[in-house]
Chain A
């Protein structure tokens, strides 16, 4: 299974951009990178995913390194509601289903 490394915690100010890094140096060539976030006492929420190209959606942008050994989740303007634990997860396809293996993630604190 591909291993990921994320900072334990990061801090940002409201209205500023946030770059959340993730190293996944053992990822295979066909593993997608998914990002989820989890607010306190809630289930995880899907944020974004990608394979090789940079991806954008209404929540965030995902920048994937050319060698695919790392990626960065970008929140363009952090809000207080973005305070959560962010998980970077290489998808493992097994038995016709994708398995999410959650690590410890990065706890993002957003200061007003």
Chain B
């Protein structure tokens, strides 16, 4: 069966520090991968998605970037965190075929001080 791993579960970082969140999927090949963010009291917002290695689409301009160095690995990064980057970050995957459900990880709760 397929599983998705996301870490760390919680993270406290100072303003201006770098960020690297990692997500890996097991049990499937060539999945579509997604990064979402949920700010406190708000809905989920799609940040990036990827349909293959090295292929990244950005949904909103922001202080973050994403990379997909391997088929089942998706990384969310920032060079210098802002206070507004605080939130609940979720990675998800889906099969490449159309209209497949997305399966979410347990998320990373990021607090910027």
Taking beta carbons and an 8 Å cutoff, which residues of A are in contact with B?
32, 34, 36, 41-46, 49, 51, 91, 93, 95-105
Known pairs A96-B51, A98-B99; A43 contacts B46 (CB<8 A): no
Chain A residues contacting B49 (CB-CB under 8 Å) are 95, 97, 99
**Bound Cα distance from A34 to B102, whole angstroms:** 10
Does the CB pair B43–A104 fall under 8 Å? Answer: yes
Q: Who on chain A is nearest to B90 by CB?
A: A43
For chain B, give the interface size range: 20 to 34
Q: Which of A45, A49, A100 contacts B46 (CB 8 A)?
A: A100
**Bound Cα distance from A32 to B96, whole angstroms:** 16
A-B contact pairs, 23 of them (CB 8 A): A34-B101, A36-B102, A41-B88, A42-B107, A43-B105, A44-B44, A44-B92, A44-B102, A44-B104, A46-B101, A46-B102, A46-B103, A51-B99, A95-B57, A96-B96, A97-B32, A97-B34, A97-B50, A97-B51, A97-B94, A98-B94, A100-B44, A102-B45
